[in-house]
Amino acid sequence: MAELLYEDALPGGSHWSMVMPAGSLLKITDVEGGANVGMLFYNPRNLLERYNAPDTLKCQHTFKLTTGHCLYSDMGRIFCSVIQDDTGWIDTVAGTTNKAKIAARWGDRDYQHERNLWKQNGYDSFLVEVAKYGLGARDLAANLNLFSKVFTDDEGNLQFAEGHSQAGNTITLRFEMETLVVFNTCPHPMNPAADYPRKPIQYGVYKADPVAADDICRMSRPENGRGFENTRRYVCCAGH
């Protein structure tokens, strides 16, 4: 078992951020089932470099992400690799909630009455976290939604897969370069739940083993081999 460096829990409808070192793992657990974790990635040494969803999907010929896939920056480097995913499908296209969407589906949020149980939305949660690093609304890119699945039906309409993630499901990301990770546990924007879902997660940071020559993420696509080499050169020169 990899060496545990740090672990914590995050309630539903909350947000957090941290810098993950190169060569570390982030293992996230859906505690109750039905969790959603919206997530963004930035290079803490150059915040202009951030997660690029179109390049990530295009170069790996996929609509979803799961075990074996890599998450690319807009500089062609790999922030992290998905080395384990119990759910088999990470949503890449549905985006996040905002204040208006939360109000329309679950009622207005009001901290004065609800206090810490107020209905947080993903957009504002991202803004609060990136502001800690001098970033703002123009710096938000397309996000991932871990533990959530969105698919197309026979008519081409996007559909939300209810019950996709079960209690105890985990997703593990291995970081190939130092990465600022911004995440929240606000509901998925397509979640049809009658009541505002507050689904907690647990997360742990571990020391990763060296990447093997036949690593599943490195070998899953020819493009990933080039991405790993591009990232290796950057990490060596940057002195991570």
Q: Tell me: the pLDDT tens digits for 28-42?
A: 999 999 999 999 999
pLDDT of residue 240: 57
pLDDT of residue 101: 94
The Cα 197–Cα 225 span in angstroms is 39
Q: Report how many domains make up the chain.
A: 1
Taking 50 as the pLDDT cut, the residues of the chain under it are none
Residue 62's domain comprises 3-239
Nearest-5° Cα angle at 22, 123 to 57 = 50
The Cα 45–Cα 78 span in angstroms is 15
C-alpha distance from residue 109 to each of 102, 171, 215 (Å): 8, 30, 45
**Helix, strand or coil, per DSSP, at residue 160:** strand
Quote the distance between the C-alpha of residue 224 and its chain's center: 19
pLDDT of residue 118: 73
pLDDT of residue 119: 87
Strand 24-30 relative to strand 201-207: parallel, antiparallel, unpaired? Answer: antiparallel
Best CA proximity match to 10, nearest among 172, 182, 185, 197: 185
Quote the distance between the C-alpha of residue 102 and its chain's center: 20
Report the amino acid identity of residue 228: F
DSSP assignment letter at 45: T
pLDDT of residue 208: 96
Quote the distance between the C-alpha of residue 156 and its chain's center: 25
The Cα 28–Cα 203 span in angstroms is 4
Burial 190-209 (b: 16+ CB within 10 A, else e): bbeeeebbbbbbebbbbebe
pLDDT of residue 45: 96
